[in-house]
Structure 1
Amino acid sequence: MDNSIAAIILTKNEEKHIARCINSIKGVCEEIWVIDSFSTDKTCEIAKDLGAEVCRHEWKNYSSQFNFGLYECPIRSEWVWRIDADEYLSGNLGMAVKTALARCDHGVNGVFVRRRIDFMGRPLLHGGWYPSYYLKVFRRGHGECECRWMDEHICLFDGTTITVDDGDQVDANLNDLTWWTEKHNCYATREMADLLMAEYGLDDRGANVEAKFFGTEDQRKRWLKKRYAKSPLFIRPFINFIYRYVFRAGFLDGKEGFIWHILQGFWYRTLADAKVYEIKKRFNFDDEKIKAYIRQEYGL
């Protein structure tokens, strides 16, 4: 079996992270493609020095940028690995995936790997955040990134999947909280659009992951997202916080866990709800006008 892999990394001013990311996949990925959104720091120079191919492309959203790399770059490898610039491979994950690809059945077109989030230097091992498995590796020509504004996943056109859990794909951003909150303010706008699309059933065209509670991690997350979108504004962030921090034992991750669950589980989701409310109030809660606005501004 051909187990050659091309990594696709999206970047915008990632000079703090890009070397760590690329070094973690060297010897695992035969090709490394960096799709850069016109960085103004040394991201591109560092990536090129480490042997990556760099293409520049204007940013619209994550899915369109990733799929640009997937379809427009002259990738030669059999497999594609989706990895963000602030992520890296830990343990033996890279070589374990290479071995699994060399041995897998011809009908296998995707690989789920275990993802871990580190926040303020601490791994978040509770609150339902770990262990979690995501489809990060897929056979070229048999999958792409689904077209959504938020929580986009890799979807397969056909075939089956396997899971490799010998190590983690670690999300460990090194920027400070000021940067984090500014980024999540932008995320909240995308989340607002995604929530309104889900509430009004406007996201079906871009959604390729089936919403299923008893399914993969991606399918269960999509099922929960649809239910969340139909829950009452401003109450749902509070419920989310209590569920993850108390009932899923997020408090066991110490002060860093407390900050994470307050900011990511409550503040960020409350901000997204406030933006949903702002849009609804602007159009006097007229569903048809709201849907027309969403289609015009955020249609995919």
Structure 2
Amino acid sequence: MADLAVVILTHNESIHLARAIRHIKDVANEIFVVDSFSTDDTVEIAKAHGATVLQNRFVNYAKQFQWALQNAPITSNWIMRLDADEIIEPDLANEIASKLPSLPSDVTGINLRRKLVFMNRTINYGGRGILVLLRIWRRGLAEIEDRWMDEHMIVREGRTVTFVGGFSDHNLNNLTFFTDKHNKYATREAVDALNQRLHFMPTPESMSVEKSSLQAAAKRYVKEQVYNKIPFQISTLAYFLYRYFARVGFLDGREGLIYHVLQGFWYRFLVGAKITELQVATSHLTRPEDIKAELQRITGLDLETAPPSNPGIVISG
């Protein structure tokens, strides 16, 4: 086993959790499941597979993961962020086990190359083939961006390297789940984008290339500095056409068409529409605290910037 702790956030992930743990348990010497009070048997599955379980009220992914880093009894020198619907494939597991102990001390982060499986088909085109993400880091030398959406891990010092083994995002839920999840994502992203304009909450620095992967930093720059400044009625259609034709997304077949339309057009259009809706709803307000209060009322999101109050930690293993 590698000197590695894996942290997985869950809420009703019984369909995925056993698979995620099964693919990493022979590599990591610690597995922590941080659950936001699931109503299915997620917690029982985690316990049955030897994970240590903590529970905390969920506000957003960034706050929950930072809470996990601060409260989980991690002793390993390396930490991995893993989503419940992600799979560490055998070649990557072997790469982690063989390379992690011999990395030089100036390497503080490891990028993984994640592929997407949608409706049981790997999406290879449309600019969605491989996403390079910082997912492993030395304990105490990285943190998660405090954002409502599109949060990334960033390292405070040192350099990063990239492992090439198989790593996939393969969600097993249906399209109703997909559209419901992305509807909620759209609200969070609209709040995040509006905050960059109105500054009713602290605005995190955009990550630098040195702190995260080059690909993630480039995508963030284009989105914030170019895409978000174009009227969404134009940008969403242009983005879909770019993905589907210029980046040959049509080569992903029927499943790819469904994915690129839903994620590359419908979702982006929905985000833009929600930004417009929230702008109109708060246009009569000037004080940041009033804007935040109104957005909190409309969206139902807890927009307080302080860490969530802890209703009680449950630790088991």
- TM-score normalized by the length of structure 1: 0.92
C-alpha distance in 2, partners of 1:54/1:15?
14
Deviations 1:4-39 (A, max 9, x none): 110000000000000000001011111000000100
Deviations 1:165-221 (A, max 9, x none): 022x21111111111111111001001012212344677742351279xx7112112
Matched to 1:182, the amino acid is D
User: How far off is 1:288 after superposition?
Assistant: 4.0
C-alpha distance in 1, partners of 2:201/2:239?
22
Matched to 1:122, the amino acid is R
Match of 1:236 in 2: 235
Among 164, 177, 191, which residue is 1:193 paired with? 191
Match of 2:314 in 1: none
User: How far off is 1:269 after superposition?
Assistant: 1.1
8 A Cα contact 1:147 1:207, kept in partner: no
Q: Percent identity among equivalent residues?
A: 41
Higher RCO structure, 1 or 2 (CA under 8 Å, sep 6+): 2
8 A Cα contact 1:237 1:270, kept in partner: yes
Match of 2:257 in 1: 258
Match of 1:90 in 2: 89
Deviations 1:41-77 (A, max 9, x none): 0111011000001111000000111111111111010
8 A Cα contact 2:116 2:123, kept in partner: yes
C-alpha distance in 2, partners of 1:98/1:225?
36
8 A Cα contact 1:109 1:139, kept in partner: yes
Match of 1:61 in 2: 60
User: How far off is 1:98 after superposition?
Assistant: 2.5
**Match of 1:165, SS?**
coil
8 A Cα contact 1:211 1:223, kept in partner: no
| Distance change (3 Å), C-alpha of 1:131 and 1:149 | same
C-alpha distance in 1, partners of 2:155/2:200?
21
Unaligned ranges ≥5, structure 2? 297-302, 306-317
Matched to 1:102, the amino acid is P
Which is further off, 225-234 or 198-207? 198-207
User: How far off is 1:233 after superposition?
Assistant: 2.4
8 A Cα contact 1:283 1:289, kept in partner: no
User: How far off is 1:240 after superposition?
Assistant: 1.2
Match of 1:270 in 2: 269
- In the TM superposition, 1:3-82 aligns within 5 A as 3-82=2-81
Match of 1:207 in 2: 205
Match of 1:221 in 2: 219
| Distance change (3 Å), C-alpha of 1:200 and 1:223 | farther
Matched to 2:164, the amino acid is D
User: How far off is 1:132 after superposition?
Assistant: 2.1
C-alpha distance in 2, partners of 1:252/1:22?
33
**Match of 1:133, SS?**
strand
